[in-house]
Each structure stands twice: as C-alpha cells, then as structure tokens.
Amino acid sequence: MSVVPEAREASTVPVPEAREASTLPVPEAREASTLPVPEAREASTVPVPEAREGHIVAVSPHLDDAALSASVALSAGGVTVATVFTAVPAADWPVSWWDRLTGATSSVQRQRDRLAEDAAAMTLLSAKAVHLDAAEAQYRGGDPDLGPATERLTDLLAEAGEVWLPSAIGGHPDHAFARDAGLRAAAAAGHRQVRLYADFPYVIAYGWPDWVSGVPGATCLDAAFWLAEQIAAAGLDAASLTPAVTRLSPPQRDLKKEVIAAYQSQAAALKLAPEDLAAEPAKLDFELAWRMPLT
C-alpha cells in the first residue's frame, strides 16, 4: 500500500477524520503497523487453558473507541475492555491539536477528564476497564513501545472466550497499533479467531453502506466502495472477513446514547452530540463487526 494516497485520503475526509489527520506519525511507522504478524500466528495452536466461554475481552485503542463501536456486545455483562493508549501526558506537554479542538486548554487535564469519562461509560456497560498506559499519538514522538502492552494483553486474552479488536478503519495509526498488538496477543493466547469491530464513528464518514442498512444510499455516493477501500487500506483481507451487522433495538439505542454522552469531551468533535444524533438518527441504527480467523 502506498503511503502518499492514504495521507491524502485522511486529509480530505469529514471532520471526525481530522482527528486522524492531526496525529499521523512518520509514514513508515504507519506502514509497519499494518503488516501481518506471521510469527504470532504460528502460536495459534496453543490451547486456551483458562478461557471462559463467552467472556468478551475487547481491545480499545483510545478511551472511547470500543465502547462507541461495539456497545451492544460490550453491554453483555462481565466484559473486560483493555484500552491501550491511556497515559496522561507529561505536565509540560503542550496542548494537542485534537484537545484544542475539543475545547481543552491542558492535555493533562483533558486526559484525566477522559479517564473519568471512560469509568462512567464502563459503569453504564457493566464492563471492567483495564488501562495499558501507553502514550497515544498526540502525546508522544515516534512509535509506541507496545511490548509491555502486548504482554499484558496476552494474559488478558488467555481468559477470553471472545476477542474483540479494532479494525483500524479511518487510518489512525494508534488503531492499527492496537489491532496488531491485539492480533499478536490473541494468537499467543491460542485464539483461532477474533472479531474486528468497525471503528465508530469513522465507519460512517459517508453513512452506512447499503449492504449494512438494507436500503439504497444517497444519490451519487457509494459508501460501500469507500468502506471496502478502507478495509484494504487498513491492511485487511476482505475475503477473510465475515461481517456481522447488529441493528440496535430501542433500549440498545438509548444505552448507546448514554455511553456517547459519558464521553462528553469527545462527542461534539466526533459529531455525536445530542443535536447531531437528533439530526441524523441513522448513526445509531447499526454496529458492524467482522469475524476473522487467525490461521
């Protein structure tokens, strides 16, 4: 995959994607983050001695991603959400572009706010939060060292009956880093398949594709093409993915609204404020994931 076209894509998509564009790392790092992990796949035949059937462990790149993308699955009860990039930046770290967009004057305070928001969201989902304390792209220079996070994830995933990872739609390097760390950990823990959730709201930058919604999209707009291209750009093999579309029931929509509201510092910049949802209720119609074998 070429670096230049992707960077250009990220700079021309709607506002939520600006979050991605603001935090792009050196291009070669991004390339590396989406490479397959053959050595990890070797370990996929290891048994899962302590796995609990049905117990979901979900990996979230940032504080909000898994909960916003897979609220229905994560509300099953007893779910563990392991968030990779949760570190509070150094006291003298300048306020980041994204944090400024969301009205913050201090990235340190904003990250503390987000940690508190995540705790509230996990309470709503009756889920357990685990923070892996890596520094996210806007709070670091260069690539993250995900060795410790991957080790911790391997332990967590060894107890999982189901592993949920981001698919890295939208092109954010942290999402690809988290996914790939999760893939390594899942393989090392003996899993034979994972579920990749469609990163929300990035997946609906152009609305739900017709194959998700079941109705034709807008005139002169092919959201299915865009999503297929995103999957390829994320380094995924579409042929290996089995999609699962969840249509949210009224109670599930209500819960998702509450979860979104819990992440109040992020909602408006993600175009998920109450007025945004009132104007475009279809945003809450579905959640999308894929099953992917690790063999």
Of the pair 65, 287, the CB lying nearest Zn ion is at 65
C-beta of residue 16 within 8 angstroms of C-beta of residue 270: yes
Q: Would you tell me which residues interact with Zn ion (CB under 5 A)?
A: 61-62, 65
Measured from the CB of residue 202, what is the shortest distance to Zn ion in angstroms?
Answer: 8
Burial letters 182-212, b for 16+ CB under 10 A, else e? bbbbbbbbbbeebbbbbbbbbbbbbbbbeeb
Of the pair 82, 189, the CB lying nearest Zn ion is at 82
Of the pair 6, 65, the CB lying nearest Zn ion is at 65
CA atoms within 13 A on the CB side of 163: 31
Of the pair 57, 158, the CB lying nearest Zn ion is at 57
Of the pair 134, 158, the CB lying nearest Zn ion is at 134
Measured from the CB of residue 65, what is the shortest distance to Zn ion in angstroms?
Answer: 4
Q: In sequence order, which residues have a C-beta less than 8 Å from that of residue 153 and are 6 or more positions away?
A: 59, 82, 132, 181, 182, 185
For residue 108, give the amino acid letter: V
Measured from the CB of residue 210, what is the shortest distance to Zn ion in angstroms?
Answer: 26
Of the pair 190, 201, the CB lying nearest Zn ion is at 201
Measured from the CB of residue 61, what is the shortest distance to Zn ion in angstroms?
Answer: 5
Measured from the CB of residue 230, what is the shortest distance to Zn ion in angstroms?
Answer: 15
Of the pair 40, 84, the CB lying nearest Zn ion is at 84
Measured from the CB of residue 7, what is the shortest distance to Zn ion in angstroms?
Answer: 18
C-beta of residue 52 within 8 angstroms of C-beta of residue 161: yes
Measured from the CB of residue 172, what is the shortest distance to Zn ion in angstroms?
Answer: 6
Measured from the CB of residue 209, what is the shortest distance to Zn ion in angstroms?
Answer: 21
In the complex, residue closest to Zn ion by CB? 62
Of the pair 84, 187, the CB lying nearest Zn ion is at 84
